[in-house]
Copies of this chain bind each other. A is one copy, B any other.
Amino acid sequence: MNPRRMSRPVQIGRTTIGGGAPIVVQSMTKTDTRDIMSTIAQIKELEDYGCELVRVAVPDAEAAGAIRDIKKSVSIPIIADIHFDFRLALKALEAGCDGLRLNPGNISDPEKVSTIVKKAKERNVPIRIGVNAGSLPEAGNRSLTIAEQMVNAALQQVRLLESLDFDLIKVSLKAFDVPATIQAYQMIAQKISYPLHIGITEAGPPRTGVIRSTAGISTLLYLGIGDTIRVSLTAHPREEVSAGYEILKSLNLRQHGPVLVSCPSCGRTEVNLVELAGAVEKELARIDKPIKVAVMGCVVNGPGEARDADIGIACGKGRGVLFKKGKKLRTIEEKDFLAALMSEVEDMTG
C-alpha cells in the first residue's frame, strides 16, 4: 500500500481534512433543503451512522437561508453545494455554512468567483473545487481525455483562487468512468498539495453503485490518494456512510464498529451458514465498538480464521467450536450458535 500522499490540512468546522488526519466519511442530504425539519432529521440520522461532514443542495435563496436554522440543530459541519448562481454562495456564507462546493463547469466567470472567494476568506470558509465529468466547462479542450479535461478545469480555478491569496481549497474530480477518475486524481495529486475529496459520480443504485464506488475509491486509497470520501448511491444517504466506512475498514484505514468474517459456504458445509451469518450480521448492527467476529462453515479455514478473530465459531455437523482471541473456549450445539457467539461479543464490548 502506498504511503498516504501528504496534503496540507484544511479545517471545515470541527473537522480536519488532509494533513494526515483520519480519512473523513461524508455524505449529502437528499431532502429538500428548504424543508428544514426533514433536513435536520436526515443529518441527525447520518450523524448516528458516523457521517463526519454533510453537504446540502442550494438550488435557491430559500435553501441557502435554511442553512442558518439547520446548523442550530446539528453537530457536523455543513457544506453548501452551489451551481450556476454565484449569489447563492454568498447567501450560504451569510447563513453560516462551514464549507462551499463550487463547480467550475457552471460558475467560471472570474469576477463572480472572486466575489465568492473574498467573502469565504473573510469567514475562513474553505471551498471545494468540485469538477464533474457530466458538467465540464464549455471552454474545455475536447481533444483531451476526460481525465485531462477534469484536471485542467480544476487547475484553472485553483490558480484563480490562489491569485486571490486564498488557500482553503479542496479538490474533487469525479467521473462515472472509474479508470478515468483514478487517472485524473493521480495527475492532480502530483500538481497540487491541497486535500482531495474522492468519489465516483452517479455510480447508481446500491447493488452496482457500491461496486463501482469501491473500485474507484479503494484503488485511489491504495495508491495513497484521498483525504475524504463520499460514496454516491441512488439510495438513502445512510447507505453511503456505511459503505464509506466499509471501504476504509477493508483497507485498515479506519476502525468503525464490528468486522464480520464469514466463509461463502460450500458443499462441505453442514450448517445453514448464510442464515447464521445473516443473523450475526443483524445482531452486530447494534454493537458500535471495533470487534472482529468470524463465522466459519468447516474445518478447512474455520479454525484458522476463528482463531484470528476476537470471537469466532468454526461450525461442523450439529456443533461448533467457539474461539476467543485465538483460544478455544468450548464446543457448542447448533441451536446455541447465535446466542453463545453474541453473548461473548457482548462480554467483550459491553
Contact = CB atoms under 8 A, between A and B. Distances in A.
Interface in A259-296: 259-269, 273-274, 277-278, 281, 294-296
A246 to B, nearest CB: 4
B269 A30 contact: yes
A172 interface: no
Given A58-B267, A210-B214, 4 more contacts: A103-B300, A209-B262, A214-B218, A234-B262
Nearest to A27: B264
11 contacts: A30-B269, A106-B300, A132-B301, A134-B300, A134-B308, A177-B252, A207-B242, A211-B214, A212-B250, A218-B218, A219-B222
Interface in A221-256: 222, 232-237, 240, 242-243, 246-247, 250-252
A203 B260 CA distance: 8
A179 interface: yes
A267 B32 contact: yes
A262 B205 contact: yes
The winner among A56, A214, A235, A305 for most chain B CB atoms within 10 A is A214
A1 interface: yes
A152 interface: no
Contacts of A208: 246, 259-260, 281
So how many copies of this chain end up in the complex? 2
A157 interface: no
A96 interface: no
Contacts of A209: 262
A265 B28 CA distance: 9
Contacts of A183: 1
B30 A202 contact: no
A135 interface: yes
Contact of A277 (B205, B212, B263): B205
Nearest to A182: B222
Nearest to A244: B211
A247 B210 CA distance: 10
Contacts of A263: 201-202, 232, 234
B278 A205 contact: yes
A210 B211 CA distance: 7
Interface string A64-108: 000000000000000001010000000000000000000100100
Contacts of A33: 267
Given A179-B252, A202-B305, A274 B234 contact: yes
Contact of A218 (B132, B134, B219, B273): B219
A176 interface: yes
Contact of A264 (B56, B210, B233, B259): B233
B182 A302 contact: no
A30 B265 contact: yes
A20 interface: no
A264 B300 contact: no
Contacts of A202: 261-264, 294, 296, 301, 305
A26 interface: no
A338 to B, nearest CB: 14
Given A132-B301, A134-B304, A240 B264 contact: yes
